[in-house]
């Protein structure tokens, strides 16, 4: 295994003279660098999207799983009594860390996006809301509902299950789409490199003839092209990745603009992830060029 790796390194890093056998210029060089840079740039954003949706799904799942809401619909003269009764029940329920009734201001703030800030809350028959924070493995929802039905008839427990699941599912779908995008980007890179390599091999038919005439083996000729296209793809992807990282870095922050989309980005060690794109692009180019070169050399024999 070590010998194989050494041979690989010798072939890849060594052989500068061998590399010179293939003319250095041509549109395929620019095409490969540009394609790798563009694809890496896109891959950075797809990766950022994937990581952002992962965080979002985790956050939604975590936050919503740890909280629930008790809604009390009762006549105005009974509402406060029912709230107190409900809190009493909740305080004695295992798995409930805390329970508190939302203030009128908090309820007003919740309704402001729909009805505006001047809503006369006291004139409307709005249910009272109690926020429940869970602890440990949470409470037994079925048991709590039964107790509430007996002691607080107007209470409806919403543990967020019904709308948490589709949100988490949607975030998961977004993450899957981001990964599919990354795979498509890799496939497109492979296709572009294959085309460029084939064009280079066709343009260098005479070079191949001369090298064969003087005793070059297929693997030697193929490596001359493989090294070149792999290093070009790496250089292009490095440029594209750095540009993409800069683009992500300068996206407006969540604090400024708010909302989900501005949450796209990298946090902490996730900034290292885009640095994996250039080596991966080089790997894609390596295998694409190798396949194209060996196929072409077989055809030309």
The distance of closest approach from Cβ of residue 20 to another protein in the complex, given in angstroms and rounded to an integer, is: 7
Does residue 29 interact with another protein by CB under 8 A? no
Binding track, positions 58-87, relative to another protein; x by CB under 8 A: ------------------------------
The distance of closest approach from Cβ of residue 219 to another protein in the complex, given in angstroms and rounded to an integer, is: 7
Decide whether 18 or 111 has the Cβ nearer to another protein.
18
The distance of closest approach from Cβ of residue 294 to another protein in the complex, given in angstroms and rounded to an integer, is: 11
CA distance 45 to 158: 37
The distance of closest approach from Cβ of residue 291 to another protein in the complex, given in angstroms and rounded to an integer, is: 17
Contact 66, 135 (CB under 8 A): no
Decide whether 72 or 297 has the Cβ nearer to another protein.
297
105 dihedral zone (left: phi>0; alpha: psi -120 to 50; beta): alpha
Does residue 125 interact with another protein by CB under 8 A? no
Decide whether 16 or 272 has the Cβ nearer to another protein.
16
Decide whether 148 or 211 has the Cβ nearer to another protein.
211
On the 0-12 / 13-18 / 19+ scale of CB atoms within 10 A, 125 is exposed
Does residue 205 interact with another protein by CB under 8 A? no
Binding to another protein, residues 207-266 (CB under 8 A): 207, 209-220
Does residue 13 interact with another protein by CB under 8 A? no
Does residue 24 interact with another protein by CB under 8 A? yes
- Residue from 3, 4, 5, 17 binding another protein (CB under 8 A): 17
Give the phi and the psi of residue 258 in degrees, each rounded to 5.
70, 175
The distance of closest approach from Cβ of residue 288 to another protein in the complex, given in angstroms and rounded to an integer, is: 22
Does residue 301 interact with another protein by CB under 8 A? yes
The distance of closest approach from Cβ of residue 269 to another protein in the complex, given in angstroms and rounded to an integer, is: 43
User: How many residues bind to another protein according to rule CB under 8 A?
Assistant: 23
CA distance 117 to 110: 10
- Residue from 20, 59, 84, 169 binding another protein (CB under 8 A): 20
Decide whether 29 or 195 has the Cβ nearer to another protein.
29
Contact 210, 226 (CB under 8 A): no
Does residue 206 interact with another protein by CB under 8 A? yes
The distance of closest approach from Cβ of residue 213 to another protein in the complex, given in angstroms and rounded to an integer, is: 6
Binding to another protein, residues 36-55 (CB under 8 A): none
In degrees, rounded to 5, the angle at the alpha carbon of residue 79 between the alpha carbons of residues 74 and 80 is 170
The answer for residues whose C-beta is within 8 angstroms of residue 111's C-beta and 6 or more apart is 119, 121, 126
- Residue from 9, 23, 158, 169 binding another protein (CB under 8 A): 23
Q: What count of Cα atoms within 13 Å lies in the side-chain half-sphere of residue 208?
A: 21
Give the footprint of another protein on this chain (CB under 8 A).
Answer: 17-18, 20-21, 23-24, 206-207, 209-220, 297-298, 301
């Amino acid at each position: 295994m070590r010998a194989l790796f050494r041979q690989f390194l010798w072939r890849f890093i060594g052989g500068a003279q061998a590399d010179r056998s293939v003319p250095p210029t041509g549109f395929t060089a620019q095409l490969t660098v540009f394609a790798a840079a563009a694809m890496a740039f896109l891959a950075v954003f797809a990766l950022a999207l994937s990581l952002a949706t992962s965080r979002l799904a985790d956050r939604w799942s975590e936050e919503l799983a740890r909280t629930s809401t008790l809604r009390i619909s009762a006549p105005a003269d009974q509402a406060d009594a029912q709230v107190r009764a409900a809190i009493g029940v909740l305080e004695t329920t295992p798995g409930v860390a805390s329970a508190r009734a939302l203030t009128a201001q908090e309820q007003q703030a919740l309704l402001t996006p729909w009805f505006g800030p001047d809503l006369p809350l006291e004139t409307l028959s709005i249910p009272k809301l109690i926020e429940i924070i869970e602890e440990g493995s949470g409470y037994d929802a079925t048991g709590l509902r039964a107790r509430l039905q007996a002691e607080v008839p107007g209470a409806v427990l919403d543990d967020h299950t019904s709308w948490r699941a589709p949100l988490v599912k949607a975030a998961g779908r977004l993450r899957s789409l981001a990964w599919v995008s990354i795979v498509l980007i890799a496939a497109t890179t492979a296709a572009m490199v294959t085309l460029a390599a084939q064009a280079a091999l066709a343009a260098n038919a005479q070079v191949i003839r001369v090298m064969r005439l003087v005793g070059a083996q297929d693997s030697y000729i193929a490596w001359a092209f493989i090294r070149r296209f792999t290093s070009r793809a790496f250089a292009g992807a490095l440029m594209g990745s750095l540009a993409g990282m800069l683009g992500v870095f300068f996206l407006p922050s969540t604090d400024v603009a708010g909302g989900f989309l501005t949450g796209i980005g990298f946090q902490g060690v996730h900034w290292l992830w885009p640095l994996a794109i250039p080596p991966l692009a080089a790997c894609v180019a390596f295998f694409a060029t190798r396949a194209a070169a060996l196929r072409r050399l077989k055809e030309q024999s």
